[in-house]
Amino acid sequence: MIQFDKLTYPTKGTRIEFKDGKIQVPDDPIIPFIRGDGIGLDITPAMELVVDSAVEKAYGGKKKIEWFEVHAGLSALQLYGNDNVLPEDTIKAIEHFYVAIKGPLTTPVGGFKFVCLDCAKEQDGPGGKRPEKCEKCGSKWVTPRFRSLNVGLRQKMDLYACVRPVRWFKGVPCPVKHPEKLDVIIFRENTEDVYAGIEFEQGTPEASKVINFLNTDMGKNIRKDSGVGIKPISITGTKRLVRKAIKHAIDHNLPSVTFDHKGNIQKFTEGAFRDWGYEVAKEEFRDQIITEQELWDEFDGKMPEGKVLIKDRIADQIFQQVLLRPDEYSVIATPNLNGDYISDACAAQVGGLGLAPGANIGDEVALFEATHGTAPKYTGMDKVNPSSLILSAVMMLEYMGWQEAADLIVRGIETTIGNKTVTYDLERQMEGATKIKCSEYAQKIVENMG
Ligand code: NAP
């Protein structure tokens, strides 16, 4: 049994095992969870209530999740002190138990020195020193700025695929006429591209060194007053991501996988992503796939039975395509930056980010998460919409093979939204809707599971 610094190994439940490239889920799996900062306080209990009720209902008490709280962000700071917002215990626990779920975490963005983990206020501190309390909310949990915890979690556990399903729930207000036509799952590469964090600030000796090297040794002509970022995209990073996306399409009988890239301009990064994607498809899934080129050359555009269509689209064009011909897209595999944009664009198309779930998945470990932030102004008000985290839990149950429980939750959400009993964010856009609290909404989902 592994030893933790400040966590106690759960006394109930059984560890999920990993054998022959797959998780083996017992009837009483231990699932670590990070409550999250801000509204994590409200949405995490709502998610647990819904999941526990669905599992109980689906399996008549034969299966049960044993939740195991682990810490990041504010709760980590409170327990571990020393500005430790991402303790080693947390990484150890998630890696040990293989499947986990998390609420949102504060990520400081500006050039400030300190951040309050209670209200996310970023501040410089008096004379550059750490403030004793937050200048906005008075909280004592002000800590030096840190890099994104979400990025930290992904990098430490090499969770290389960010997976975001986007579909419409009947009744949710949205800007398009036929939101039901969009039903996609986006596999976004999570570790490379301009997100690799290789950047040199304008005016620094490092930036000058890089610019001089590129201008002198590589024959480029970069302005001396530039900041510089590096965009690495590798065969390894691309192929493992595309492999996961194609496997998902095959396992779930989905019609197509589209590579979303900007290869017409960035030939050796985005263009290479596309080429390596086709390589994986042809080398590893030859019997199960057909490329768009082959479809027209050999089948006159008529899709043969039982094959997954592999195609690619330029990044700017796909924004038009998901709006104008949404039903032509199913699985989308994409480098990091394009994935960031297309995920949010698709989510907005079907009624906003409040309902969009997500997961970060590696070869062995999967971490499911709400896709919105900590919305600190609503902390503890029992007000916000917990659907994103609940739908992330649905993805988690599906990943565990507990499809029956997942289906019950989806049915509960569909009915609850269909009945127009919703949280403030949806209520303000729906005619004749009744506004209910976060916890009441969770309770309604349970009642509406059928
Ligand atoms: P945010 O927390 O997502 O909130 C922006 C607005 O979105 C809220 O004010 C609210 O809109 C709406 N919203 C978000 N979640 C909602 C929910 N569950 N139900 C209903 N409405 C919801 O974005 P932010 O204010 O830019 O970021 C706050 C902090 O969260 C930052 O530190 C940021 O870095 C962090 N963040 C974390 C994650 C993550 O952990 N994955 C993701 C994004 C941001 P109204 O005001 O209109 O009601």
- Interval 172-229: pLDDT, tens: 988 999 999 999 999 999 999 998 889 999 999 999 999 999 999 999 999 999 999 9
What is the pLDDT, as a whole number, of residue 179? Answer: 95
For range 37-57, the mean pLDDT: 97
Q: Is the pLDDT of residue 358 over 90?
A: yes
Residue 244 alpha carbon to ligand 1 centre in Å: 29
Among residues 209, 316, 327, 377, the one annotated as catalytic is: 316
Phi, psi dihedrals of residue 113, rounded to the nearest 5° = -90, -30
Residue 353 confidence class, pLDDT cut points 50, 70, 90:
low
For range 252-279, the mean pLDDT: 97
What is the residue whose two structure tokens read 């080398």?
A: 283
Catalytic residue check, 363: no
Q: Which helix (H) or strand (E) covers residue 168, if one does?
A: none
Q: Is the CB of 47 under 6 A from ligand 1?
A: no
What is the pLDDT, as a whole number, of residue 190? Answer: 92
Catalytic residue check, 89: no
What is the residue whose two structure tokens read 């689209």?
A: 313
Which of 118, 136, 125, 93 lies closest to 39, judged by CA?
118
pLDDT in tens, 61-74: 999 999 999 999 99
Q: What is the DSSP string of 198-245?
A: -EE-TTSHHHHHHHHHHHHTS-----TT--EE-----HHHHHHHHHHH
Quick check: 73 and 37 in contact, CB under 8 A? yes
Q: Which SS3 state, helix, strand or coil, does residue 17 take? A: strand
Residue 147 confidence class, pLDDT cut points 50, 70, 90:
confident
Residue 372 alpha carbon to ligand 1 centre in Å: 5
pLDDT in tens, 290-313: 999 999 999 999 999 999 999 999
Catalytic residue check, 340: yes
For range 389-402, the mean pLDDT: 97
Put the strands of the sheet holding 122-123 in their side by side order.
122-123, 114-116, 142-144
Among residues 98, 195, 329, 441, the one annotated as catalytic is: 195
Query: Residue 113, Cα to own-chain centre: how many angstroms?
Result: 27
Q: Which of 344, 374, 427, 428 to mutate to test the pocket of ligand 1 (most atoms within 8 A of CB)?
A: 374
For range 366-388, the mean pLDDT: 95
Residue 146 confidence class, pLDDT cut points 50, 70, 90:
confident
- What mean pLDDT, rounded, does the chain reach? 95
Q: What is the C-alpha to C-alpha distance for residues 1 and 120, in angstroms, rounded to an integer? A: 37
What is the pLDDT, as a whole number, of residue 195? Answer: 84
Helices and strands in the chain, H and E counts: 14, 20
